[in-house]
Structure 1
Amino acid sequence: MKEVGVQTQSGDSAGPRVFSKTPIPEFEFPQILYSSHTVLWLLIAVGILGYFTFLRDDSDSLLNQRQGFLGLILVFIFTCGVQLPDSGFFSRPHPVFWRMLQGVGLCYFTMLVYLLFQNLDDSRQLLTFLDPKLGKSLPDKNYADDCRIYTPEHPESIFYNIKDCFFDIYIPAHALGWFFKMIIIRDMKLCWILSVFFEFLELTLKFQIPNFAECWWDSLIFDIILCNGGGIYLGYLTCRFFQMKEFFWGIGEDKRSATGRFSALSRTASQLTPHSWLSFNWEMFGSCKNFITTIWLVIFVSATDLSNFYLKFILWIPADHWILVIRVFFVAFYAMVSIEEYFEYVSSGFRLRLGTNSWLAHMTVFTEWMIILKHSQGMFVEPMPYWLQIAWTGIGCFVVSSALCLFYSDISKKNSDKVKSVQ
């Protein structure tokens, strides 16, 4: 987009920072596609609803309920696409995409709230309304039953354990997930921290979730190096290919140049990106605030990933079911805008309001974990191993001591600045 200077006057509700980040409209499609057309969409919606009201066969009660539920969701998403305000950061490939994505988020959040008021048995049976195959107990698959690499006695393959692990649904899911994380976070070092931390979470929680029990070669080679590392590296190559700016999260040395962090993209590639990119410079160890907000990001991302496994385990949803697949893709796209809004909120010193999408993302994850905690009562009774308790105590002490040291450093710096100003 061309650089254009704008002089404007506003009230107290918006400051220069808001206007500096609001791009002047650039129409990649014909301009008519960017007009609201609310009356036209109203007539189209009424016509479609009228067709299903009077011309549809409603003799099957169960089919009526399912199609009515689907119609409710589609109408809500359609209304959000027409009436919700545009995202402050994302307008490509088209603003309506992000408005409808927010509508999907609202639908998912409201359904989670409904499940929050149900007991465990009713929650499982409610899912059979979406798919009659659900509501049945799932077999527990433990990946650490046999950790041998060489199995000469097996009729299928002498490396059956490796073959069975390699063709598991979680292999492409892990790689795709970390591919999206790298594109969203755009910092390879932080992605590696998240990757290793999540593997430690799996090691911690394997006494609760059987799927988390893995062989050493599965966890180290397949997960950390092959899947997570491969997805992170492919995401890095994608960022380099499209010449995106690399986000710096304050870990290690910032090797970006002042002028070489962004260059123009081709028309086709830029159509899939925002008008402009923010440089995420968290400076994790620069202050106590930066440290705590970055640690919270690590916790929040890990909690979002963990909730997928716990919901699957508690509600009896197969790993390759379309409900979980839709959730994974929704989370991937929704994280793009919610993390950017979170960065804006943090970088402003908490003076700006938390963005709508980031607020909704937090509410959704909190609600998911309330469902998990409620429905898992009496389910996980085995205590955490003693050595893991010691490990987590050490991690907690490191985080608290680092925060206190940075807080003391901030106070000392402020006092020093006051003394210099007086002199």
Structure 2
Amino acid sequence: MTYFFRIFCAVLVLAAAADRGLAQEVAFEEWHYHQPGDLLYAEGVHTAGVILEDYSFAIMILDSKGKNTAIGAVIPGNAFQDSVKSTLTMTDGSARTVTVTGDELRREPAKADGMVSYSFFISPEDVELFQAARDWTLQAGEQSATFPLAGSRVAVDAARAAQQISEGGPEVRAKWIDACDAAAAHPFDGESDAPGVAWDDMNPETATTACLNAYAAGDVSPRTRYELGRAYDRAGDPRALELLTKAARQDHYPIAFNGLATLYFAGTYVQRDLAVARDLLEQGVALGDLVSRYSLGRMLIENGTGDADRDKGRALLLEAAKAGYPAAQRTYGAWLADGTLGDGDPQQAKAFLQDAADKGDADAAYALAQLYIGDNGIAPDPKAYLKYLKQAAKGGNAAALDALALD
């Protein structure tokens, strides 16, 4: 049961995260199936568990091949006992107690002051008893903890379903990797061959399910980790922070630096920190990520200090626009037209906006329509104005919709 060593380290993560106030909200007193990004999740096993408010926790673990199931707990205590009593209290009030000792009992070294951990294997029949019982008490000498079993049936069944996906082999794994790519890949991820899906077009439920199943099938690649983080973020799930942090800082997956920087820039799931966001984007740029190049360029122009930042930002934004990134083409073109970048260049602005509009960027189409009003170095063209105004409205641009309503 060496995987218990990794999982029981989570008690330290729980305490540290609580002290920093950075962890997602922890659900106490009810069992949950642990998914990537959860505090008690561990790669390679399928688990369900419950956390008490003192950060004691119980956890049931199915290994990846479904051959063994174990139950364990971290409970208050300062010394290990040679045996433990495991008591299930059933819904009718009756109790079932067994004593576990000797080689059947696993005792982990202490990983937090005042906490000890015990674990042991259980039979399939025992699993059913746990799912049907009201609560479970683990008694070790004078040390004990009682864990409610509310939600355990649904949570353990979900862990079992994930374990069955993991048994599907390479074909099942490939199926879910493809589904994750199709639902959550970024259209400009230089490490992926998938066409990708724009943020506004993502279905968060479909994307999250596909990528979680890819994980369950055994794919923990940097790309899938990033795509799951992106899916979580689209769903407004705080676990996005954990996944994108690992994809960037651990895996060094280029576009993940942009995803993580976006969270720090906006203060989403974490305290806002522009310095951290800038550092992350610079790392993404160093790894060749086009989206990080655009984001850093825009950030330096809008939030930088001094001419050096502004000049660097303009150069980065122009590079991203020339490389064909629609958001960069739209932004650079619009800023050329309105003077944000200094002296306007309507012809170059028109070229970049045209390219982005042709790729389906509704905001670029609206900005291009404004150029055809005239008085900006571009000859007035009512037909072109109306054409791009309609294109922008079709793409959902609110200003274009309002303009057409007035017209």
TM-score (norm 1): 0.24
Which structure: greater helix fraction?
Answer: 1
Q: 1 or 2, which has the higher strand percentage?
A: 2
TM (normalized to structure 2)? 0.25
